[in-house]
Structure 1
Amino acid sequence: MKKISIIQRIHQEGVVAVLRGDSWRQVVQLAEQAIAGGIKVIEVTMTVPHALKAIEELASRYAWNHSDPAYNAVIGVGTVLDSETARAAILSGADFVVGPSLHLDTVKLCNRYRVPIMPGVMTIRDIQEALDLGVDVVKLFPGNQFGPSMIKDIKGPMPQANIMPTGGVNLTNLGDWIQAGAFAVGIGSDLTKDADATDDYSFVQTKAREYVEALKQARNLF
């Protein structure tokens, strides 16, 4: 099934580029550079003006099962606060949905259409409620408020929980998160800050390559 394949792909790729910007065209350019650098999972946040246009553009060009590696990527939506937004993004081509918190109606909507939903969680109770609702992956957010040891603490009573930290993940601590048992990691401003400062989007491609290499090294340590 497509849902299972998408979830497996996110785990396989290991790094999700969480992209924000001043315009949807800018985010498309950032996504192109990230994909060229090897990050094949893209999350377009709904804080981007006309974000659905960015999702439509990227989804028309890239596909999670595309035969050409240059156009093989998973395009999703983030910062989803309600089910209406989730539905609009899915119709625009989003392969997965991410929210900053656990929102019942959004989870139900995504489950109805068999689309992966990764809601934000901060507590054991949040995680248990997400599992009860059939959520496959939860987003530990903001990750910089916890640290990698939080995953081991969670997996003590809940080893079945798949956890993706987002917020504060960088090249320095990515290995710690992966070795702690992270399902994948979400990368935000650290991926794009050099490009934002210089208006040179090629910096995103360079940084993406560094993240892909850091992930490989972290996984090879097991």
Structure 2
Amino acid sequence: MQRSGGAGHVPISLKIVHSPCHGLYCQDHWTKGKPGRYRQAAIRPRESLQLRYRSLHPSLQENAMTPTEFVTRLGKARASAILRTDVPDVAIAAMEAAVRGGFTICEFTLTIPDALDVIREFSQRYPDVVVGAGTVLEVDQAHQAVEAGARFLVSPVVDETVIKAANELNVAAMPGTHTATEMLTAFRAGAPLQKLFPAPGIGPDYVKACLGPMPFLKLVPTHGVNLTNARDWLAAGAYAIGFVAPLFDPALVADRRFDELERRARQLLQSLDS
């Protein structure tokens, strides 16, 4: 396509590329306000930012994982281990117990003292484990977490600036959503996964009800998920689930009972198929 003008004008060429669209369930449809069947390939600011950021931090290249790759990996794993503790010196050992028990996707919340150092060290020790950061509330935190090695970012709320930052950094965002409106808002903002949080008194039927009119959502409950109902959440349509206290009981973590944490990890994962 060319735009013409008066004498001495400079023709501007715009290359149009075709990309698949899934109708109303295509994220481009929602984020751009129209079906994403055609995109302008002449301007790619997000890719430019990704390349600039990763060129400044070469260590990110080795373990880089796109949002699509992470979503696929989480869907196959079906569950993640989420650690929130006030005892930073046992954080790595506690998560190691979860990995020995079978978990391959691990999240450290940024409420852990020195959480970035924990993420950095753990991701270097276990390059085959997908490590993410939780409780990401600020754009600066998103950048710092990814630089430390986080390959996905989780938030307790829907903050579109954090979602945008995650997309620019080419990592998956999983904001916390509670209502159907928040879920759709997160999806339209570019979050491929929607964390169900908080969920007091909400059971698996709530997931089923939300997915009825919005089957394109990928809901991930993390609050209220335990040994007895984990399979029910998945059966109701949850894309995956996250284990917090049922896995990392605060008393067990503080007492460094890592063998028991490993046993719990194995038991929780086995419950998904029992």
Q: TM-score, normalised by structure 1?
A: 0.90
8 A Cα contact 1:38 1:208, kept in partner? yes
SS of the equivalent of 1:18 reads strand
Partner of 2:240 in structure 1? Answer: 184
Aligned residue in 1 for 2:270:
213
The one-letter code sitting in structure 2 at the alignment partner of 1:76 is G
Secondary structure, aligned partner of 1:75: strand
The answer for the alignment partner of 2:111 in structure 1 is 47
Q: For this pair of structures, how many residues does the alignment match?
A: 209
- Classify 1:199/1:24 alpha carbon distance in 2 versus 1 (closer, same or farther; 3 Å): closer
**In the alignment, is residue 9 of structure 1 matched against residue 66 of structure 2?**
no
> Aligned partner of 2:182: which letter?
D
**For structure 1, which runs of at least 5 residues remain unmatched after alignment?**
64-71, 218-222
The 2-side partners of 1:106 and 1:146 are apart by 26
Equivalent runs, 1:153-172 vs 2, <5 Å = 153-172=209-228
Q: Report whether the alignment pairs 1:86 with 2:118.
A: no
Offset, 1:195: 1.8
Q: Does structure 2 retain, via aligned residues, the 8 Å contact 1:24–1:50?
A: yes
**SS of corresponding position for 2:175:** strand
Paired residues for 1:7-46 under 5 Å: 7-46=71-110
> In the alignment, is residue 175 of structure 1 matched against residue 239 of structure 2?
no
Unaligned runs of 5+ in 2: 1-64
What is the alpha-carbon distance in structure 2 between the residues aligned to residue 87 and residue 109 of structure 1?
A: 8
Contact 2:90 2:254 in 1 (8 A): no
TM-aligned CA deviation for residue 164 of structure 1: 0.2
The one-letter code sitting in structure 2 at the alignment partner of 1:53 is D
Question: Is this contact kept in 2: 1:55–1:77, CA < 8 A?
Answer: yes
Partner of 1:69: none
Moved over 2 A (4+): 22-25, 196-199
Partner residue in 2 for 1:75: 131
Bigger relative CO (Cα 8 Å, ≥ 6 apart): 1
Q: Secondary structure at the match of 2:112?
A: coil
- Give the % identical residues: 35
- Whether the 8 Å contact between 2:87 and 2:254 is mirrored in structure 1 is no
Aligned mate of 2:261, from 182, 204, 222: 204
Q: 1:103 to 1:6 in 2, by over 3 A?
A: same
Deviates more, 1:150-159 or 1:3-12: 3-12
- Please give the root-mean-square deviation of Cα atoms over the aligned residues, in Å: 1.3
- Higher Rg: 2
Check the 8 A contact 1:192/1:203 in 2, yes or no: no
What CA distance in whole angstroms lies between the structure 2 residues aligned with 1:99 and 1:138?
Answer: 10
CA distance in 1, matches of 2:96, 2:180: 36
* Larger helix share, 1 or 2: 1
Counterpart mapping for 1:131-146 below 5 A? 131-146=187-202
1:47-126 → structure 2 map (5 Å cutoff): 47-63=111-127, 72-126=128-182
Query: Per the alignment, in what secondary structure is the counterpart of residue 216 of structure 1?
Result: coil
Per-residue deviation at 1:197? 6.4
Q: Deviations over 1:72-131 (max 9, x none)?
A: 211000011111111100000001000000001100000111100000001111111111
SS in 2 for 1:145: coil
Distance 2:204 2:193 in 1: 16
Distance (Å, rounded) in 2 between the aligned partners of 1:197 and 1:132: 40
Per the normalisation by structure 2, the TM-score is 0.74
